[in-house]
Amino acid sequence: MPEHQLINGSVLDRSGSLIGTVTRVNPLATGDFSLVVQSINGGQAGAEVIIDSSQIKGIDAARKTVTVDGDRQQIISNASKTIQLVEERLVVNRKRVKVGEISVRRVVETEIVEVPIRREKLVVERIGEGDPIVEVKLGEPRLLGNAVTSDSGIDSNTHDLTALGNLNTIRDAANFLAAAKNLDNHCEKIRVYIFLKQQTGLKATVHQFESSETAIQVLLGLETTLLKQCSNVRLELFLKDDSMLQTYQSWFAQYASPTAI
């Protein structure tokens, strides 16, 4: 009968008295085994008892009983003794086998990547001379239209639907455009004349925009560069119809400088 089938079997002493029930079977290194028996005393479970295979007198497979060569009281009295713990160990034999070779090295590669970078800047120069008077980086804003210079007379090319005003500074012009409500809905284009002081050798620069947002961003960029060179600013709004002409002209009266250019 295989040892594992002894589990839950009854263990009797040599006189046939019940000692207990087998709870597990522990194999020993010698090839033998020992039984761990839960003792039963008066119908109540007691302590566990270890019974070696050498103590087994007989096994009845049909009745699933084990008879041991010993007295019940003597065997149960051994329950207080230390139970030997049995464990299994796996011993692995290792050896080194060369299966190949590898090489590890550090490689530094240098690549030259040509990336075109596009930047926009506003150049103010005197016609006929090579060196520019002023260069302003526009950054993200894109200038819609042309920026031209004027050295002699200024041709405004205004028409009947043009609202215009003369402002003291570039900041005043930017503030006016920011305060004008729905300007882009009523205006086709914006033209800004920045008049320069005579020591610059250039009378004015002319800038034309298609939206107030772009005009404000460019003017704020020009303010830092031309702050000490600007003498006056003229702002012209080319309107789509005459519905807002009087309104914008009235606003110019609040912002504009008293001196006409």
| Full pLDDT tens readout for the chain, 261 residues | 566 677 888 888 888 888 888 888 888 777 788 888 888 876 667 778 888 888 888 888 888 888 888 888 877 776 555 455 566 777 888 888 888 887 777 777 777 666 666 677 777 777 766 676 666 666 543 433 344 444 434 455 556 788 888 988 888 999 899 888 788 888 999 999 988 876 656 677 888 888 888 888 888 888 877 767 788 889 999 988 888 888 888 888 877 655 444
Helix H or strand E segment including 242: none
Using CB atoms within 10 A of its CB, is residue 248 exposed (0-12), middle (13-18) or buried (19+)? buried
* Phi, psi dihedrals of residue 36, rounded to the nearest 5°: -100, 115
Other beta carbons within 10 Å of 224: 9
Instruction: Give the domains, in start order, of the chain with CATH numbers.
Output: 3-80 (2.30.30.240), 121-255 (no CATH)
| Confidence at residue 150, expressed as pLDDT on a 0 to 100 scale | 42
Spatial separation of the C-alpha atoms in residues 36 and 6, rounded to whole Å:
10
Q: CA triplet 182, 188, 191: central angle to 5 degrees?
A: 100
| Cα distances (Å, whole numbers) of residue 171 to 33, 195, 217 | 102, 14, 11
Task: Report whether 56 contacts 66 (CB < 8 A).
Answer: yes
Q: How many residues make up the chain in this entry?
A: 261
Other beta carbons within 10 Å of 251: 18
| Confidence at residue 153, expressed as pLDDT on a 0 to 100 scale | 44
pTM score, whole prediction: 0.40
| Confidence at residue 200, expressed as pLDDT on a 0 to 100 scale | 58
Task: Report whether 38 contacts 23 (CB < 8 A).
Answer: yes
Task: Report whether 250 contacts 199 (CB < 8 A).
Answer: no
Other beta carbons within 10 Å of 171: 15
What tokens were used for 79? 């329950």
